[in-house]
Each structure stands twice: as structure tokens, then as C-alpha cells.
A = this chain, B = another copy of it.
């Protein structure tokens, strides 16, 4: 379990970093393994939400798709992240889908089993609340960024979040360790591919970002990006993708 890997990554947090070793062992105890292949869904919109998922390996995108096929990516989860809801009422349903964008090893946690642990161990309950609070913080801060500062602000906010989740510090800037296509970014922002392309070209021209081998984005002027979305320097567990 993470903690900020200083220098190596710009700063990569897993959302399970809120759990103590002790609490995490309880979770391990009730997990059973599952594999999900690239392109497959871990769960679908409207499925019964009676499980949590611990992502051991791979990548999961949480998406919401409209009837017309427009796709909004709400989160991208990585190794060490916990996925799902703790509705605690047995009848609640997901209102988004979870799609594997790489081959995944997942630990499945049954709601019922988790509830037992929460009942018995106050410590685990408190840590779960911290996790839930963080997740809500991510959603709320994205909401703010995507609503208030236009598409340019939305892109800049998203680049900062990507830097926090995928960035590696180098002497010349923060290099994203993964390639994101214009379409990927557009789906994170809720805009069109063309708009992303034009905005990125502009940022490149102004020397805010550069493109490395394989189209990987490197952030040169983080301060500019922060300015563009009135960054409030939220804690890193919230400022993520």
C-alpha cells in the first residue's frame, strides 16, 4: 500500500492508503479473486451494487454513457484502488459502468461480509469513512473544475490530476507515464476530441506542455495549468483522476 513514493512518481496515491495494515488484512480475509480482461466490464450501469472490488493489478475506467453514445469517464482506477459503493442497503444499484482498460486482477468483497467486519471493528469503520469521504471529495472537486472554468479549465484540471496519478518528475517537467489519446481526454472532460486537440496544440505552442515519444504528455508549466482552473491545492488524495 502506497504512501507518496517521493521522487519516483510525481506522486501516486492509491485510494486504499487510508487503510491501516491491520484493517487491510481484514479486507484481504474476505476477498475472493477474479480476473477481468481488457475491454470486459467489471460491472454495468444498473447492476445490483452488493460488492466492492479491490484492484490488485490493471486499470478500470468508471464511465457513464448517454443514449446517444456520448461517454463521460468519471474515474480511472489503478493498482491499489478500491472500487464500488457502500450503500449498505441491499437494494442499491450502480449508476455507472466499470470497464477494464487492461487485464485486471480483482479482489471481490461481498457487501455482507464487509458489514460484519465494520460492525465488529470500529477502527475499520472509521477508515472506510475516510475512504468514502475521499471518493466524494474527488467527485466534488471534479464537478467544480468541470462546471466553473470552461473547457480550457477542465482540460487543465484534468492534466493536473493525470500528473498526480501518472506523472513522473523529471529534470524538465512532469512526464505522464501513460499515453492518453485526444478522445481519452475528451471523455474525461465532457467535450469533443477536436476541442481537446485544439486546446492541447495551443498549450504546446505556449510551451505549457510538450509531447514526448509515443505522444506522451509532459507538463512543463504546472503553475499555468493551476492558474487556468483556479487550483486550490486540494490534498493529493482528492486531486486525482
Residues of A within 8 A of B (CB): 46, 64, 66-67, 70, 72, 74, 85-89, 92, 95-96, 115, 118-120, 122-123, 125-130, 132-133, 135-137, 139-144, 146-149, 190, 230, 232, 234-235
Contact = CB atoms under 8 A, between A and B. Distances in A.
A147 B146 contact: yes
Contacts of A129: 86, 88, 118, 125, 128-129, 132
Given A122-B118, A129-B86, A136-B135, A148 B66 contact: yes
Chain copies in the assembled complex: 2
Contact of A139 (B72, B96, B139): B139
Contact of A119 (B74, B89, B126, B147): B126
Contacts of A70: 148
A127 to B, nearest CB: 8
Contacts of A146: 143, 147
Given A133-B87, A133-B132, A95 B126 contact: no
A58 B87 CA distance: 28
Most chain B beta-carbon contacts within 10 A, residue among A66, A132, A144, A230? A132
Given A64-B148, A95-B140, A95-B232, A118 B128 contact: no
Contacts of A86: 129, 132-133
Given A89-B130, A119-B125, 19 more contacts: A64-B144, A66-B149, A67-B230, A70-B148, A72-B147, A72-B148, A74-B140, A85-B137, A86-B129, A86-B132, A88-B126, A88-B129, A95-B141, A115-B126, A125-B125, A135-B136, A139-B143, A147-B190, A148-B190
